Amino acid sequence: MRDQDLSDRVALVTGAGVGIGRATATALGASGAFVGVHYHRSKDEAGETLDAVRAGGGDGMLLGADLTDEAAANGVVDGLVSARGRLDVLFNNAGSPIERATLEECSVDLWNQVLATNLTSAFVVTRRAIPHLKASGHGVIVNNLSLSVQTGGANGAGAYAAAKGGLQVMTRTLARELAPAVRTNAIMPGVIETRHHEVFSSPERLAQYRTETPVGRNGTAEEVAGVVMFLVSDAGRFVNGALIDINGGRFLR
């Protein structure tokens, strides 16, 4: 599709080693973008993502950093821009519940760690990226939320839900502050069968989720990447401040 051609554009995908990040980085590369493949601990997996980008006809570079460290997070943006001279697309995908705990049981240390990992890090990366996105002429931000924003963080994911809720508000704020130079939107995936749910959901719970979803299955990382591609491309040029559910109708209202 011509208006999903991202040739000559530069994209940064945080948390691109596995799952939704890998699928999106691969799709961006296949559409012509040069992809900054960020990782924290998953260096080998990020290398596999970069291999997949190149196998699909694209190109990119690895960018390792702990995004909860402000200087390191700034360095990710600076390193990509230094290498390519521009930044057009930012997909704030990195995040993790870290561990499950009810709010009654959640320590302040865990609370702060979850917010730093899922909200503050996205803020720092975005703040550093804004001048470059404004200068792009095609600047777009997509933030990856979570169905827990709707559910309130069931099964001990309350801190994670709170962080993602903050990212939702930040999405709307940026949509007002940066338009028309930069569009900002968010996606809210439901149950996507990636490593995230291998770690934080049992096989029995994943099977239960399938029966609770009207389309009769859980989602794939590639299906989420397809929505991100629409939002970052010219096909989505009139979409700003949106929150798009990707959950197979699991929470129809």
- CA distances from residue 239 to 119, 150, 232, 245 in whole angstroms, order as listed: 23, 22, 10, 14
Residue 253 CB contacts under 8 Å (≥ 6 apart), including other chains: none
Distance CA 221, CA 192 (A): 6
Catalytic status, residue 160: yes
Distance CA 21, CA 101 (A): 25
Q: Name the active-site residue from 34, 39, 91, 160.
A: 160
Distance CA 78, CA 126 (A): 12
Strands 10-13, 89-92: parallel, antiparallel or unpaired by DSSP?
Answer: parallel
Tokens of 125: 């990366």
Q: How many residues does the chain have?
A: 253
Cβ–Cβ contacts within 10 Å for residue 54, how many? 14
Distance CA 7, CA 28 (A): 9
- Long-range contact set of residues 179-183: C-beta below 8 Å, sequence gap at least 24: 179/240, 179/241, 181/133, 181/134, 181/139, 182/130, 182/133, 182/134, 182/136, 182/139, 182/140, 182/141, 183/139, 183/140, 183/141, 183/231, 183/236, 183/237, 183/239, 183/240
End-to-end CA separation in angstroms for the chain = 32
Instruction: Give me the active site residues, please.
Output: 160
